[in-house]
Chains A and B, each alone.
Chain A
């Protein structure tokens, strides 16, 4: 499907720039051009598609649905799935949290949403397809959804309401299901498209520099690091690799755009995919800035429990990946 991009890359590197096929520089440059074009196209498609889906499932509708319907345990899975189609900005996490709590949605269900939303987002999915292929992407998405669901159920079982900050407890006490007045915007797809389009361009503009730098670093590593280089340090049998990289990744904050292209090269050079996915989930799903924001609504103990449970689930899924992939 992407052969034509390879032709463009080959033509540019070997004919226009007139580089020799054996040079490191040529290899790196070829890789950079091919990956950049392919990934930008895929990102565009995925972000646009998710934009359309999200336009019909705005967050208010999600809340309204989750708070009105009796779902017999399925609400965790649903909240997690809604998290996939909702674009996430860490600065919205607090209003989201309060909004859900106020709508009478249980804490665990709210967490399920909050965990999956950053973990499986349109940018990560677009990059994943471009870098690792459809099969690995599906595995990532499904495990991200399950991770949110399971963590949500565990967190609900821990009865954490008492560790909310006082003013949130007041909100919780006043929560009423009725006050939720959601009015759907009656817009045709034609009316929605300009808004979606503007959002797509804005997201792309924001991430393109990171993507390009990431691919450039990846390209250099691709040309200069020998195949299997990392296998010496991190083979599948090294049981400590997964927890170590996950714990390293949690405080890190990067939009997936910069880090994914580098990780792809690391996998290519011998790091097991499960270890790499655990690392990415740690980077994308949890971050120190998010923890700081959540301090307004949660006590330290609650944030620590939340991060602890999710980290544990990420480590477990890293092991599972290394076994099945």
Chain B
């Protein structure tokens, strides 16, 4: 089943680096997933988070407020 990955962030440098790390991990490991960047604040607030960036996998918030390492993301996606 394809994973639905969303990265929530209003466009700060940290959010950008989260996006690129996630995309890299997905590509390098041939993970079947869609990566979507959510920048709309009203959309972001639906996930009830207070710190960005946040990583959402299949509608579940897994990481918030920090940029995770590649290994951490890989562990979450497997």
Residues on A lying within 8 angstroms of B by beta carbon are 58-60, 63, 89-92, 94-96, 98-100, 102, 167, 171, 195, 198-199, 202, 293, 296-297
Contact = CB atoms under 8 A, between A and B. Distances in A.
Given A92-B12, A94-B41, 9 more contacts: A59-B50, A59-B65, A63-B50, A90-B12, A92-B52, A95-B10, A98-B45, A98-B50, A102-B45
Contacts of A99: 45, 48-50
Contacts of A96: 50-51
The secondary structure that dominates the B interface is: loop
A194 to B, nearest CB: 9
Given A59-B65, A60-B50, A198-B69, A95 B12 contact: no
A296 B49 CA distance: 16
Nearest to B9: A91
B56 interface: no
A89 B51 CA distance: 8
A63 B67 CA distance: 22
A151 B54 CA distance: 30
A296 B67 CA distance: 24
Nearest to B51: A92
Nearest to B17: A202
B44 interface: yes
Contacts of A195: 66
Nearest to B67: A202
Contacts of A90: 12
Most buried by A among B44, B50, B51, B66: B50
Nearest to A180: B48
A198 B50 CA distance: 21
9 contacts: A91-B9, A91-B12, A91-B15, A91-B52, A95-B10, A95-B50, A95-B51, A96-B50, A102-B48
